[in-house]
Amino acid sequence: MNNSTATILAVDDDATSLLVLGGFLKRFGFEVVTASGGVQALELLVQQEFDLLISDLRMPVMDGISLLKEMRRRDINIPFIVMTACGSVESAVAAMHQGACDYLEKPFNPDSLQLTVQRAVDFHRAVSENLQIKAYLLERFTFQNIITVNTAMKKMLEMANKVCASQHTTVAIYGESGTGKEVLARAIHFASIGMPTGFVAVNCAAIPEHLMESEMFGHVKGSFTGADRDREGKFSQARNGTLLLDEVGDLPLPLQSKLLRVLQERTFEKIGGSDLIPLSCRIIVATNANLAQRVEAGLFREDLYHRINVFPLQIPPLRERKQDIRQICEHVYSELQQHLGKPLPGISLKAMDAILNYDWPGNVRELRNRLERAAILTSCDLVGPEHLGLLNELPQIGKPENTDLLSATYTLKMPTQNLSLAALTSQILVQTLERCRGNKSRAAQLLKIDRKMFYRN
């Protein structure tokens, strides 16, 4: 850390003591401003920002305790270190009860002085950064940032707002890939009463099955080969916050039974452990799969389905709320301007027509990605369809028919030679995936099959 960026206000009515303290602090690399008493210190605190204040306890007019109390009354919350003569530790402890973070004894020990000051500065910066991060998250992940004029979307958001106050209610968010399921989950989290910033997201489809149980529940040392230390799982990491189980439809069946038990009993155990750990987080699940169909296919437990489907929220795909697209584009452009740090070109009428006519299989995520790509690549005044990569997509515009596997084959380019059933199936899968521009969830929805079929062929 660069100490020269930390500024310390040193306060003492003893000029010699102040000179010695300032000399040490400057040698350690800190910027130092001095004040001869509490009244002058308050004047400086109004004029300038400081990372730390070090003050003597015994001073005329306004002593150290009075200075500390007045700072807190004015909501000046920088760390406060008191200085006291040797043998007056009781006074320093009394000051700490009033809100001082530490104390120093005179005469100074240079090593002790540096350690105490550095620790206070580091702590203050960590707190400030955490507050900034929290403010950023609270500003970004709010219901106000979910833009819509669509009736179905508005009703869904009204329901989501109502569940925020019920922190033990399991919420199930359904929607295609890219519709903003995690954004909605974070909005619920940050709008919940008394909910801190502990938001943990788990992609159930991305964790290997043999590691899933340890990732979710944690393990104790020696519980299996390679478990050389205790480990916290996601349920523990999300304590007093929110655990998002994304793509919950891909959770393996053995883990589904364990999740069911956790939701029913509100407790869990680490692998190899015997202690029941209380569940102290809200559970939100999200999926782009049709869980009812997965239940019928034997891929998802019916009892778990009913357990997590307490408060379902369905996010409409972007193609069903195209009246929101213009506003979403404006919002995304505003964020990109800050992110890229440069003025961005406008969007031409042709580009906007292409945006409005495109089917958006990747939903809001795809729209955002294409706008960012165009903002980076465009060197002219206006973004055109070519900058968005939409020119080759326009002939394929249109919502795919909601059809089954047999009727879908007639809309594809069928081979003329005789093929085996396996080869024909593979051909249909490939062509459907091409038609859906690589979106496996959309292709599976079109063919009414499980998405895992695309990984097996």
Angle (deg, nearest 10), helices 325-340 and 363-377: 50
Q: Identify the sign of the CA torsion 409, 413, 419, 420.
A: negative
Count of beta carbons in the 10 Å neighbourhood of residue 149: 11
pLDDT at 420: 58
- pLDDT score for 122: 87
Same fold, 141-316 and 320-396: no
What residue ranges do the domains of the chain occupy? Answer: 3-137, 141-316, 320-396, 405-456
CATH 1.10.8.60 fits domain 320-396? yes
The confidence score (pLDDT) of residue 217 equals: 93
Q: What six digits make up the tokens of 306? A: 């009913």
- Report domain 405-456's class: mainly alpha
Give average pLDDT by consecutive 10-residue segment, the chain, 457 residues.
72 91 91 93 92 91 90 88 74 77 84 89 78 57 82 94 91 95 92 72 90 91 86 89 94 93 93 90 94 93 95 96 92 83 84 91 94 86 87 47 37 46 68 71 74 64
pLDDT given at position 437: 65
Tell me what pLDDT residue 193 has.
62
The CATH-assigned architecture of domain 141-316 is 3-Layer(aba) Sandwich (3.40)
Contact present, 229 and 219 (Cβ < 8 Å): no
CATH topology of domain 3-137: Rossmann fold (3.40.50)
* CA-closest candidate to residue 307, choices 197, 168, 446, 413: 168
Give the Cα-Cα-Cα angle 410, 416, 420 (nearest 5 degrees). Answer: 85
Scanning 82-230, the segments in alpha helix (DSSP H) are 89-97, 110-140, 151-163, 181-191, 209-217
φ and ψ of 45, to 5 deg: -65, -30
Task: Reduce the DSSP state of residue 284 to 3 states and report it.
Answer: strand
Q: Fill in the amino acid letter for 89.
A: V
